[in-house]
């Protein structure tokens, strides 16, 4: 079977789950990857799929009309899919899948669309892509939601419930596993410093913890963009600049190193003003696999990933006081932490093992090919 996987820029540090998806599929089938924002324009190696003149004309048409799909944009993609005898397209993000669906229909190739979060919640995008999504929902073999919350949103948008399957991202539990290293009083957060991750809420919750445990630290890993400046300003206004660290972007090994040092994982995910939401945060899965209790929110796929009172604690979106209370509870109840570490590891291994999740997704792709 020959699979084409569409994704965003290959260098995106926040999309390691797609890189893992590519590597997992490559062990099971012949894989080709295409990328560049919503309408893929380049091969995995970075070469344009269309001839330069066609690519330029496509850009001009897009600039004038605001539309990405036209003869010149379709030309290279169709040539790529036909030339490599692609059997099925797996498109990450609903926006990308919406642009690829008409092309796949033209060349009679099934498409699997994976919705990760903002593509099922962003109000402006949903309004803009209403007709595109209707076409995608009708043609796609399967619509994959990475959480039950996203599944419900897709059905509310008009998707056939029979076409929507929940397959969340997974975690490599052989790579992320408990360490014998002694734990420090570090609350770790890993992810982009954007509204839906709620970094300002996490800082305010930690402030309440810090007043009681001044030797505790909060480490917030992620690019120094988005709400970074606001986060720095808040920590300074609270006189916590020495207790809240911003190490920037970390690779997998560095993330694992911080998880081995840390006491617990925190993330105050919430619905952004534009409707953007989480799917199932990979950082939470990796932390749980490492044996970290998680303090997070009743949001997106988190309630399935974190079992309240068993593998961590969950609070309502915006409830800073409750988040602080649970963070203090972890610092003050060693026996509870020990139980949660074991339970968190077991829960993730049973329900979110990366190989199992990729195999489930591959099975869906194989069924799409067989249905042609």
User: Two tokens at 117?
Assistant: 């979060």
Rounded distance between C-alpha atoms, residue 51 and residue 284, angstroms = 43
Residue 16 has pLDDT above 80, yes or no: no
Scanning the chain, the segments in alpha helix (DSSP H) are 16-26, 52-65, 71-83, 94-106, 123-128, 130-139, 148-156, 199-212, 228-237, 252-261, 282-289, 302-305, 320-332, 334-351, 354-370
Residue 178 lies in a domain: no
The domain tally of the chain equals: 2
pTM of structure: 0.90
Range of the domain at 201: 186-351
- 161 lies in the same domain as 195: no
Identify the pLDDT of residue 211. 96
Rounded distance between C-alpha atoms, residue 68 and residue 74, angstroms = 9
Q: Which is more confidently placed, 372 or 117?
A: 117
Where residue 340 sits, what CATH number does that domain have? 3.40.50.2000
Residue 212 lies in a domain: yes
Residue 14 has pLDDT above 70, yes or no: no
Identify the pLDDT of residue 66. 82
- 114 lies in the same domain as 88: yes
pLDDT tens for 119-170 read 999 999 999 999 999 999 999 999 999 999 999 999 999 999 999 999 999 9
- 27 lies in the same domain as 50: yes
Residue 12 has pLDDT above 80, yes or no: no
- 57 lies in the same domain as 150: yes
Q: Residue 180's pLDDT band (boundaries 50, 70, 90)? A: confident
DSSP output for 325-366: HHHHHHHH-HHHHHHHHHHHHHHHHHH-BHHHHHHHHHHHHH
Looking at residue 278, the DSSP 8-state letter turns out to be -
- Measured CA to CA in angstroms, residue 97 lies from 60, 305, 361 at distances of 22, 26, 16
Non-local (6+) Cβ contacts of 44 within 8 A are 10, 32, 33, 34, 35
Q: Specify whether the CB–CB gap between 320 and 205 falls below 8 A.
A: yes
Residue 332 lies in a domain: yes
Residue 175 lies in a domain: no
- 124 lies in the same domain as 227: no
Q: What is the average pLDDT value for the chain, to the nearest integer?
A: 93
pLDDT tens for 275-301 read 999 999 999 999 999 999 999 999 999
Residue 270 lies in a domain: yes
Q: Residue 10's pLDDT band (boundaries 50, 70, 90)? A: low
- 221 lies in the same domain as 320: yes
- 253 lies in the same domain as 326: yes
Residue 118 has pLDDT above 70, yes or no: yes
- 159 lies in the same domain as 297: no
- 293 lies in the same domain as 365: no
Counting residues of the chain whose pLDDT is more than 70, the rounded percentage is 98
Residue 179 lies in a domain: no
SS3 state at 193: coil
| Average confidence (pLDDT) over 345-360 | 96
- 338 lies in the same domain as 366: no
Residue 181 lies in a domain: no
Rounded distance between C-alpha atoms, residue 230 and residue 5, angstroms = 36
Residue 180 lies in a domain: no
- 309 lies in the same domain as 363: no
- 347 lies in the same domain as 364: no
pLDDT tens for 32-74 read 988 877 888 888 888 888 888 988 898 898 888 888 888 888 8
């Amino acid at each position: 079977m020959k699979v084409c996987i569409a994704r965003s820029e290959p260098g995106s540090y926040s999309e390691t789950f797609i890189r893992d998806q590519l590597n997992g599929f490559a062990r099971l089938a012949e894989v080709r990857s295409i990328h560049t924002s919503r309408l893929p324009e380049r091969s995995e190696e970075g070469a344009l799929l269309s001839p330069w003149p066609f690519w330029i004309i496509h850009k001009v048409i897009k600039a004038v009309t605001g539309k990405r799909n036209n003869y010149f944009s379709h030309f290279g993609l169709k040539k790529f899919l036909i030339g490599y005898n692609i059997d099925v397209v797996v498109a990450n993000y609903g926006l990308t899948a919406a642009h690829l669906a008409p092309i796949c229909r033209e060349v009679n190739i099934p498409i699997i669309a994976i919705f990760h979060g903002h593509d099922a919640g962003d109000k402006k995008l949903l309004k803009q892509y209403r007709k595109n999504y209707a076409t995608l929902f009708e043609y796609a073999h399967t619509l994959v939601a990475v959480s039950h919350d996203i599944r419900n949103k897709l059905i509310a948008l008009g998707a056939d419930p029979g076409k929507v399957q929940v397959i969340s991202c997974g975690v490599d539990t052989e790579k992320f596993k408990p360490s014998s290293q002694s734990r420090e009083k570090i609350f770790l957060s890993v992810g982009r410093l954007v509204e839906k991750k709620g970094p300002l809420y996490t800082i305010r919750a930690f402030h309440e913890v810090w007043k009681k445990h001044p030797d505790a630290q909060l480490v917030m890993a992620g690019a120094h963009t988005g709400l970074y400046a606001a986060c720095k300003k808040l920590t300074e206004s609270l006189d916590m600049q020495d207790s809240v660290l911003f190490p920037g972007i970390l690779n997998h090994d560095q993330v694992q190193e911080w998880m081995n040092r840390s006491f617990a994982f925190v993330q105050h995910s919430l619905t952004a003003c534009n409707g953007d939401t989480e799917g199932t945060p990979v950082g939470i899965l990796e932390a749980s696999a490492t044996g970290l209790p998680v303090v997070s929110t009743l949001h997106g796929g988190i309630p399935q990933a974190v079992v309240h009172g068993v593998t961590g604690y969950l609070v309502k979106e915006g409830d800073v006081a409750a988040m602080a209370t649970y963070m203090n509870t972890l610092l003050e109840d060693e026996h509870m932490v020990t139980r949660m570490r074991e339970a968190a590891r077991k829960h993730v291994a049973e329900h979110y093992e990366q190989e199992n999740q990729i195999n489930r997704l591959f099975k869906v792709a194989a069924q799409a090919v067989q249905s042609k």
